Amino acid sequence: MIVIESVNHIAITVSDLDKSIKFYKEFFDFDVVENMSNAGQAFMKMGDIILSLIEVSGYKNSGDSKNCISFYVDEEDFDDAIDEIEEAGLKVVLGPENIRKGQRVVFEDPDGNHIELSYPRID
| DSSP H or E run through 54 | strand 49-55
Distance in angstroms (rounded) separating the CA atoms of residues 116 and 123: 22
DSSP class of 5: -
| Residue pair 44/30 in contact by the 8 Å Cβ criterion | yes
Distance in angstroms (rounded) separating the CA atoms of residues 27 and 46: 11
Supply the residues annotated as catalytic. 116
| Residue pair 81/117 in contact by the 8 Å Cβ criterion | yes
As a whole number of Å, the CA-based R_g of the chain is: 15
